[in-house]
Structure 1
C-alpha cells in the first residue's frame, strides 16, 4: 500500500488532492495547522469510502523550527504533496520582516527540511514522489505579492536542483503551477475584479481545485516516472 503526506490538507486544493489520491488507492497523512475539524471530517469521509486504506490527521505548525512532532508518526512515506501556504497582498515596502519569515518558513524552508528528513523513506520504494503546488507567479511575478512570487519561484528552483540529487534514488520532484483557482484564497475579489480576470483567461473561467488535484495525482503515480525537475503550468492558457 502507498502512503502520501499532504501538507495543507485543510485548504481547498489540499482537500481535493486528498480525495483524488484516495480514489487512486493511496493511504494518506492529512496535515493541518488550525482547521482540525475540517481535516478530521475529511479523514472520516475517506475512511468510509475506502475502508481498506489508512487515513490519519496530523496537526503541525509549518512555522515551527522543530519537525519531530510531524515526522515521528510517519512509518511509511511514498509521496509528499506540499499544498500549504498563503499569500500577503502588500507592497514590498509595507511587508514586515516577520511576515516575510512566516511565508519563507511555510513555503520553502520547512518543505526543504521535510525533504531532508523524509528522503530515506521516499527512497525505499524507488518510486518516491514530491510535488509542490506552486503558482504561475513563480515564473511571471506579481506586484503586491513580491514575497509570495519569490518563494514560488524558489520552489521551482528547488525542484530543478533537488531532482538531480535524488534521481538515482528513484525520487521525482516536480511543481504544479496553477493560475487563478476557485478557492477561498480568492474570495476577496469583487465581482468586477473577478470578471476582469476571467476575461483575460482564454478558457474564460477559473480552475477548480479538483483539476489541480488531478495533475498532482498523475505526478505521484507510476505513469509519471520520467518527469522530474519540471514545473507544469495549469492556467487555462492565462498568460500573466
Structure 2
C-alpha cells in the first residue's frame, strides 16, 4: 500500500498540551496548517489563532477531565494527543528538595499519564488514535542538575512502549519525540558562551527550530507514521546518538 504524505485527510480532533509557546505552539500551528481541529491547553491562555484555547493544569485530574469534556464537545473525541506540557526545577541532587522532585515528576510524567489515560477512552471506542509524548535528549543522555527532569522524560519512554503494547490491537500508536536543544524562550536565557559550548556538542552544529520538532510530530500522527509505535524519534542534531 503506497501511502502518500500529501494524501488529504478528514480534519481530526487534535489536543496539544502546553501549546501557547515554543515547541508546543509550533506543533499546534503545524496541525492547524493541515486543516485539523486543534485544541491547546495552557495554564494562562495564549493559544495560536484558530485553536481552541482550553485552560488546564495537568497536575489536577479534575481539570484534565474538564478539559477533555470541553474539547470533545467542540471537536469530537481526541484522535491525536500530543503531551508536551512540562516544567523544570534544576539544581544539584544534594540541594534538590522533595517539592522540586515531586512537582517536576507530577507535571511531566504523571500529567502525561493522566492525559493518555483519558484520551485512550475515546480512542478505544474509535479503534484508532495517536499518542505522542514530547520527551528530551536529556531523558536518555542525562544532565547534571536535572535528575528530576531527566527521570520524568525517561519515564515517558517506558510509558509509551507499554501503551504501544497495550493498545496496538486497536490501531492506537504511542511514540516519543525527543528534542535536543531548540530555539525557544527557555534557551534564550543562556549566555553566548553557554550557547557556543552547547553547539560544539551537537554534530549538526546548531539548535533546532521548533518547526523541525513539529514536523516529526505531524509525521508520526499522519499516514506515513501509521506503522510506527513504541519508537523514540530523536530531533537533536545527533546530540544523543546511540541512545
Whether TM exceeds 0.5 here: the answer is yes
Q: Does structure 1 conserve the Cα–Cα contact (< 8 Å) formed by 2:112 and 2:133?
A: no
Indicate if the aligned counterparts of 1:177 and 1:234 stay in contact, CA closer than 8 A. yes
1:2-81 equivalence runs, <5 A: 2-34=12-44, 36=45, 38-39=46-47, 42-43=48-49, 46=50, 55-66=51-62, 67-75=64-72, 76-81=77-82
Equivalence for 2:236:
235
Indicate if the aligned counterparts of 2:79 and 2:123 stay in contact, CA closer than 8 A. yes
Q: SS of 2:197's equivalent? A: helix
Deviations 1:197-219, CA, capped at 9 Å, x for gaps: 11221211100000000000101
| Contact kept in structure 1, 2:61 and 2:114, CA below 8 Å | no
Q: Distance in 2 between the 1:218 and 1:124 partners?
A: 24
Question: TM-score scaled to structure 2, two decimals?
Answer: 0.88
Residues 1:105 and 2:115 aligned together:
no
Partner in structure 2 of residue 117 of structure 1:
118
The answer as to whether partners of 2:79 and 2:128 remain within 8 angstroms in 1 is yes
Check the 8 A contact 1:4/1:80 in 2, yes or no.
Answer: yes
Distance in 2, matches of 1:119 and 1:112, equals 10
Q: Which residue of 2 aligns with 1:51?
A: none
Aligned to 1:204, the other structure's residue is in SS state coil
- What's the secondary structure of 1:73's corresponding residue? helix
| Structure 1 residue runs without a partner (length 5+) | 47-54
User: C-alpha distance in 1, partners of 2:56/2:94?
Assistant: 30
Aligned-pair Cα RMSD in Å? 1.4
Question: Structure 1-normalised TM-score?
Answer: 0.89
Contact 2:40 2:52 in 1 (8 A): yes
Matching residue of 2:91: 90
String of CA shifts for 1:98-132, please: whole Å, max 9, x gaps.
22221112111122122222212123443300111
Query: Which runs of structure 1 show a deviation greater than 4 angstroms over 4 or more consecutive aligned residues?
Result: none
Return 116-125 or 127-136, whichever deviates more.
Answer: 116-125
Match for residue 171 of structure 2?
170
Q: What CA distance in whole angstroms lies between the structure 2 residues aligned with 1:127 and 1:111?
A: 19
Bigger Cα displacement from structure 2, 197-206 vs 111-120:
111-120
Name the residue aligned to 2:131. 130
